[in-house]
Amino acid sequence: MNTQEQSAFDHHPRLALFDGLPVPVCLVDGECRIVDMNSSALSFWGVEPGAVLGQPAIPTLGIVPSDGDGDAWQRISPPGAHPRLPCRITTPDGQVRQVSVLYTPLNGTTPTLGALFIIEGSMAAVLSDVPDWAFRDPVTGLGNRHLWEREAAAWSSRSGCVVFLDLDDLKEVNDLHGHVAGDRLLAAAGQVLASLVPSGALTVRYGGDEFVAVLPEPDEAAAEAWAQEAVRRVAAASADLPIVPRLSHGVAVFGPGGLQRAVQRADDVLYERKGVLLPAASGGRIILTREGRSALRQPGDDRAQPRPGAFSAGFGPEFEEHFRAQYARSVEQAREFVAFVDPAPGIAVVEVGAGSGRITFDGGLAERIGAKGQLLVTDPSGAQLQAARQRAEERGLDWVRFLRAPAEELPLASDTADLALGAFFLQFTDPACALREVARVVRRGGVVAISAGIAFSWPPVWFDILAPVREELDRHGLPLRHFFTTEDELRAHIRGAGLNIERCHVVGPDDFDFPHVETALAFWRQNGLVRLLLREVPAERIPIAQQAFETRLREVFARTTPEERRGSFEGMSVVARKPE
């Protein structure tokens, strides 16, 4: 065995599985050469590891079939071989001992590994049946990871379905109620799964809170039904438990040679389902992908790191002052939008580009949905989410969830939410891409509701103010995109996302002005510059462009009047439905 191979063995995580067993275990490679020995094996043979590593296991360990027929390795290594072979072993001190030898290939190892279990009659008498003991999980009563490694090899030429299951909230139970309560939770799940195992199936406790069932028929619908029944029965087994136990699950079909890949696919499906918030009264649900689970923000979380393409600038104090001056009109518009959408209580809702909560809280969206529904608030800005979360805490809305994500890359599973809505988020995105993404996460028959700017009168002075931005974009071959879309463009984007418009409502026109230069700077740092620069221009160029823009804006403000800078804009609220 060369140094590279030995290093691969030494660092393989499965080597630690056998060290604590009270029976001798030798790890061997694909040619039955000794790779490692647990402490019981070292004591049994009275050898040091270095003296036997790399040696042929059968002659080195003195293993001979008791009936003298053939070579022990040839009789125990083939797939489907007899699980226990009576043998004689001659130890280095000349003792001849009667044992049973069990060989278990460790499926999926590179290089190939297997384990030789050496079981003496006296040991079997004490433990009744060492192989059963060694392969049984004491908490759940199911097979353990050792059994999985042994039995998985027998499925290498077969077809079937993998069901990967995960016991939700085990860590929380251990932390809040102690590990004894956690063991009771595991035991309840194990009893249910054991009672449901069909003939010819394999069910094991795969890890801490994970279970795997291999069903003998490659029928995904039947496997899904089996898993749903397991979920239902586990949830019903709540007597004397601190919480209602819940299983998440994933299902995957496999053919010959495909078991391990199916396990990975089923695990991926489980991770999506693991992110499901409590079902809404409507039956809708919001499913987060693996990436989304890591970005989900709860009260007390530290701020997440910015995602690529996301912005993190916050409203400055000057803009907040200006915003408060316009508060009455802003709240009125938010309430008008929520009333126009008219969401039903208890549904599953994703709010896109929520900002600091104008629609969520001022518009009354959270109260409309209610605690029996789901409201997942998303925004690419950590500062905005922090402000929204604080408002939720102040109002006691602890069921509102917060997810950091841009509208073009929502880490949510498709066809799950009842409603997705947002106000003016299209102004900071690629509108066509964002609408397709929002439509994707809504279930068939669900609704997408948006409020967007459709017309904006630009005073000529603003073209002068934006000149440094245009120059920076020109440097990189990028266009100066209009901050607003038109009504025709908006309708086309909605149709392009596969949505059918049901009703529209035009808002405005409203005047657009800034009382002083600091207010304008705060607005453009948060809004226009974010859209025009932070998502378009290389990061090292952004401070240069921002400084040039700020200098130009101050110069123009000093020589113009409010009337010369004043513009107006119109918006449109739209409700569209995703076809069944």
Class of domain 3-134: alpha beta
3-state DSSP call for residue 442?
strand
* pLDDT for the residue numbered 181: 79
Mean pLDDT of 464-489: 75
Domain with CATH 3.30.70.270 in the chain: 145-274
Rounded-to-integer distance, Cα 134 and Cα 152, Å = 16
pLDDT-based confidence at 479, cuts 50/70/90?
A: low
- Laid out side by side, the sheet with 96-106 consists of 34-37, 25-29, 113-120, 96-106, 85-90, 63-65
Angle (CA) 442 444 449, round 5°: 45
Asked if 457 and 484 count as a contact pair (C-beta separation under 8 A), the reply is: no
Residue type present at position 308:
P
Architecture of domain 290-577: 3-Layer(aba) Sandwich (3.40)
Please, what is the average pLDDT of the chain? 78
User: pLDDT per residue over 187-219, tens digit each?
Assistant: 888 888 888 888 888 899 888 888 999 998 889
Domain with CATH 3.30.450.20 in the chain: 3-134
pLDDT-based confidence at 107, cuts 50/70/90?
A: low
pLDDT-based confidence at 293, cuts 50/70/90?
A: low
3-state DSSP call for residue 187?
helix
Is residue 82's pLDDT more than 70? no
Residue type present at position 12:
H
Asked if 234 and 213 count as a contact pair (C-beta separation under 8 A), the reply is: no
Domain with CATH 3.40.50.150 in the chain: 290-577
* 240 conformational bin, left if phi > 0, alpha if psi -120 to 50, beta if neither: left
Is residue 361's pLDDT more than 60? yes
pLDDT-based confidence at 105, cuts 50/70/90?
A: confident
563-579 core/surface letters (b: 16 or more CB in 10 A; e: else): eebeeebbbbbbbbbbe
Q: What are phi and psi of 287, to 5 degrees?
A: -110, 125
**Range from 57-61, 358-362, 406-410 carrying the lowest mean pLDDT:** 406-410
User: pLDDT per residue over 418-470, tens digit each?
Assistant: 999 998 888 767 788 899 999 999 999 999 999 988 877 777 887 788 788 77
**Range from 130-144, 301-315, 392-406, 563-577 carrying the lowest mean pLDDT:** 301-315
Rounded-to-integer distance, Cα 160 and Cα 127, Å = 34
First-to-last alpha carbon distance for the chain, in angstroms, is: 62
Is residue 302's pLDDT more than 80? no
* pLDDT for the residue numbered 236: 79
pLDDT-based confidence at 125, cuts 50/70/90?
A: very low
Class of domain 145-274: alpha beta
For residue 203, CA distances in Å to 26, 168, 193 come to 26, 18, 7
